[in-house]
Every structure is written in C-alpha cells, then in structure tokens.
C-alpha cells in the first residue's frame, strides 16, 4: 500500500472519478435519447449510433494512449485527454444535428478513454502487487456511476431539458482536470522510450496475447460487456417506449437493476486476494449467463413486463460486477512493466464488445424488445463459452493475477 495513507485516499478518490467518467458521460444522457432525436430532427434509433460511436472511440483510443503513457508518462497523456473531453462536451451542448452530435461523442470518447486507461495504470504504479483491491474500488466507483447516473439524468432531463445532463458531465470533467492538475504527480517512474511506437506496438500486443490467461480475461470481458451494453443501450426504448415509464421512472428502475454491479464489485474487492482473479471471473460469468438465459426464457414464455425483464438482470449485474474488476486485475497485474499496454488492451476489449453489441442493436431494431433480449443472450453465452474454452485446466489456486495458464 502507499506509504502515505492520506495521499492514497486522495489519489484513490481521483482515480475513482476518472474511472467513472466514461460511464457518467453515457449513462447521464440515456434517459434523454428520445428527446435528443426529436430536437435534432433525427430518425428514431439514430441516437444509438451516438452511443456506439462513443464506445468505439473509447476503446480504440486506449490501444494508443495506454502504451503512450508507458513512454512519456501518465500525467501529460491524462491531462491532454481530459482537455479533449471538455472541448467535446462543449461541442455536444452546441450541436445542431445528429451528425454533429455523433462527431462530438466520438471526440468525447477519445478524451474519456484517457481517464479510464490511465487510472488503471496509475493504480498498478502506486499499489503495485496489492493493486487488486484498489482496482476493485475504482470499478465500484464506476459502477456507482452506472447505477446513479440514469436516475440523475432522468431528473435533470425532466426539469432542465436534454442539455442539463450533458452540462453536469462537463462540470464533472472540469473537476477531474483541476484535481489532476493540482493533486496528481507522475507515478510512472520507469519510462520506456520504445513503448507506444507504432512499429513495435503490434508486436507488443501480440506478445501480450500469447498468454492464454490474458486471452481468456480479455475475451470474457469483451463478451460480458457486450451482453450488458445490449441492455444499457436498448433499455431506454423498451422501458419508456414499450412499457410506458417516464424518464425519471426509467432512471430509478434501471439504477436499481445495476446496483447489483456494485454488490458484485464489492465482493471482488473483499475476496480477490483470497480466491484469485480467475476463480472470481468464473463465478461471475456463470451468473451473467444464467441471468441472460432467464431473461430470454421469461420474455419468450411470459412476455414483456417490468419485473420479468428486471429481475433476471439482477443476476447479470451481480456477476458482471464481480467479473469486470477481476478480469482487469488478472490481466494487468502480471504485466508490471507494461501496465499501460495491458490496461489499454483490456479497455479496448471491453469497448469492442460494447461497440459490436450497440451496432447490431441499431441494425436489428424492429420496434420490439427481441433484438435487445437476443443479443443480450448471445453475448452472455459467448462470454461463458470463451472463458471455459480458454481455461485449459481447473481454476488455479488463489493467486491474484492468475497468470498460470500456458
């Protein structure tokens, strides 16, 4: 643990905010997606492209920014990314068309990705071998944002219009910039002048992927987040458009569901040192697959209802909350000298799953809940299969990083 407890608490609070920034940027605006389409005279469902564009930029940017921070330091890359985030969010507030709004979201995603990947790398820098619980705490902060932001966004939209949630995201981003400028000092003390060079980047990622355990964590994370994102992106249309909830009611309902993420991450934070990352990921992906299967079965044989859709999702969010921090810890902690590279790829994998899910959901929209439910089930099943196919032998003995797979 860091030698200064006071400094570590302050730093951890900053890292929690940085980790949550991308989710805040997305979850705050979800209750107002329909209104944004109307105000910007866009076709129904086009706002889903804004979500997918954000996560695509969010994921791809991490492939470059993580290794770049290994080369020139965490602080300059982080500050530059946060400034880009602020400019993009201002552009969103001024957008006059859906195309302009989507372009601003792409830029916002590039800025926000720096916050996530650098927060994870900084945790590895500072907490070193004991970084697992600290990583889990940052994920708990991110999951709290997922749970609370739709509620807050729904209320803000109701009383302040569609720009009010975006304005709150701007203020949070501004606070993050000021905190980093005033309170964070460079934590990467072993700069690698070869890191981040395009000619070696592909080889470095290929070297990471040689480890079977790294592939297992990355693919399981990608498919799990794809399953979750199908519900994140599609739930607004289903709960508000098909089930008739108001934006505020939707925010409360959705926030209640995803509170399971917090419980799962809390379990990981408490147990990861004892059980190991690999075992927790195995438990988590089992819960995700079970919840997704129940969602499909209930919709098929009972029909669409608030409870029928929401209750199985508690299992999904509980398992997802366990899996997300454990998979990241299992992939990043064995790679101390290239934490930015490993964190960048895991962030990319997470967002790649979300991007594929969001694009498919946008293409398959038919006015029912079936596209969301089916994609949710398929991605969850793929996550379960990927983990168990790549896990060659029984779960390892408790070890935080679980780097034992050949």
How does pLDDT run across 238-295, given as a tens digit for each residue? 998 899 988 778 878 887 887 888 889 889 888 888 888 899 999 999 999 999 999 9
135 near 123, Cβ under 8 Å? yes
33 near 47, Cβ under 8 Å? yes
Percent of the chain with pLDDT over 70: 91
Quote the pTM value.
Answer: 0.73
Smallest CA-to-CA distance from 242 within 358, 371, 380, 354 is with: 371
- Which residue's structure tokens are 């962030």? 347
Helix segments in 128-197, DSSP class H? 131-160, 163-183
Helix (H/G/I), strand (E/B), else coil: 10: helix
DSSP code at position 237: I
pLDDT at position 169 = 94
Helices (H) and strands (E) in the chain, counts: 14, 0
pLDDT at position 172 = 95
pLDDT at position 49 = 80
CA distance 141 to 164: 22
Q: Determine phi and psi for 333, rounding to 5 degrees.
A: -65, -35
Instruction: Copy the structure tokens of residue 203.
Output: 């080889």
Q: Determine phi and psi for 192, rounding to 5 degrees.
A: -110, 110
pLDDT tens over the chain, length 406 residues? 343 323 467 888 899 999 899 889 988 888 888 888 888 888 877 777 888 788 788 878 888 888 888 888 889 999 999 999 999 999 999 998 999 999 999 999 999 989 988 888 888 788 776 667 777 778 788 778 877 887 888 889 888 888 999 999 999 999 999 999 988 888 877 777 766 566 677 787 888 888 888 999 999 999 999 999 899 888 888 998 899 988 778 878 887 887 888 889 889 888 888 888 899 999 999 999 999 999 999 999 999 999 999 999 999 999 999 998 899 888 887 876 777 778 778 878 888 898 899 889 888 888 899 999 999 999 999 999 999 998 755 544 444 444 443 3
CA distance 60 to 1: 31
- Which residue's structure tokens are 């590895």? 124
CA distances from 404 to 214, 284, 286, 330, 395 (A): 10, 20, 21, 10, 10
Smallest CA-to-CA distance from 138 within 9, 248, 253, 246 is with: 9
17 near 175, Cβ under 8 Å? yes
pLDDT at position 7 = 40
128 near 333, Cβ under 8 Å? no
Give 341's contacts (C-beta < 8 A, 6+ positions apart). 66, 67, 70, 195, 204, 205, 208, 335
Give tens-digit pLDDT for 158-188: 888 889 999 999 999 999 999 999 888 888 7
Smallest CA-to-CA distance from 99 within 142, 137, 53 is with: 53
> Domains along the chain?
9-183+210-390 (1.20.1250.20)
In terms of C-beta distances under 8 Å and separation of at least 24 residues, what long-range contacts does 357-364 make, across chains too?
357/225, 357/226, 357/227, 357/229, 357/230, 357/233, 358/48, 358/51, 358/52, 358/55, 358/229, 358/230, 358/233, 359/52, 361/48, 361/230, 361/233, 361/234, 362/45, 362/48, 362/49, 362/52
């Amino acid at each position: 643990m860091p030698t200064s407890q006071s400094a570590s608490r302050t730093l951890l609070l900053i890292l929690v905010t940085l980790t949550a920034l991308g989710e805040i940027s997305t979850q705050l605006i979800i209750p107002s997606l329909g209104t944004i389409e109307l105000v910007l005279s866009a076709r129904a469902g086009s706002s889903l492209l804004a979500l997918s564009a954000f996560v695509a930029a969010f994921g791809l940017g991490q492939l470059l920014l993580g290794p770049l921070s290994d080369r020139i330091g965490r602080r300059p890359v982080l500050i530059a990314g946060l400034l880009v985030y602020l400019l993009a969010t201002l552009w969103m507030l001024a957008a006059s068309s859906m195309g302009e709004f989507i372009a601003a979201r792409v830029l916002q995603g590039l800025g926000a990705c720096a916050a996530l990947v650098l927060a994870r790398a900084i945790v590895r820098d500072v907490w070193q071998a004991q970084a697992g619980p600290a990583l889990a705490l940052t994920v708990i902060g991110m999951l709290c944002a997922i749970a609370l932001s739709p509620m807050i966004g729904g209320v803000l939209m109701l009383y302040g219009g569609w720009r009010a949630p975006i304005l709150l995201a701007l203020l949070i981003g501004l606070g993050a910039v000021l905190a980093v400028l005033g309170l964070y000092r460079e934590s990467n003390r072993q700069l690698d002048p070869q890191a981040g060079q395009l000619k070696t980047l592909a080889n470095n990622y290929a070297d990471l992927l040689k480890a079977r355990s790294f592939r297992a964590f990355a693919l399981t994370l990608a498919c799990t987040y794809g399953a979750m994102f199908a519900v994140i992106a599609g739930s607004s249309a289903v709960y508000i458009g098909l089930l008739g909830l108001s934006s505020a009611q939707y925010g409360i309902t959705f926030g209640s569901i995803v509170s399971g993420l917090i419980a799962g991450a809390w379990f990981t934070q408490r147990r990861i040192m004892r059980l190991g990352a690999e075992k927790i990921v195995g438990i988590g992906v089992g819960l995700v697959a079970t919840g997704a299967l129940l969602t499909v079965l209930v919709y098929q044989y009972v029909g669409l209802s608030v409870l029928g859709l929401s209750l199985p999702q508690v299992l999904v969010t509980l398992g997802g909350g366990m899996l997300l921090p454990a998979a990241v810890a299992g992939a990043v902690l064995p790679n101390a000298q290239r934490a930015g590279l490993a964190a960048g790829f895991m962030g990319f994998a997470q967002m790649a799953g979300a991007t594929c899910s969001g694009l498919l959901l946008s293409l398959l929209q038919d006015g029912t809940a079936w596209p969301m439910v089916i994609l949710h089930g398929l991605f969850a099943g793929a996550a379960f299969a990927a983990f168990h196919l790549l896990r060659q032998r029984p779960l390892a003995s408790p070890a935080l990083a679980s780097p034992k797979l050949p």
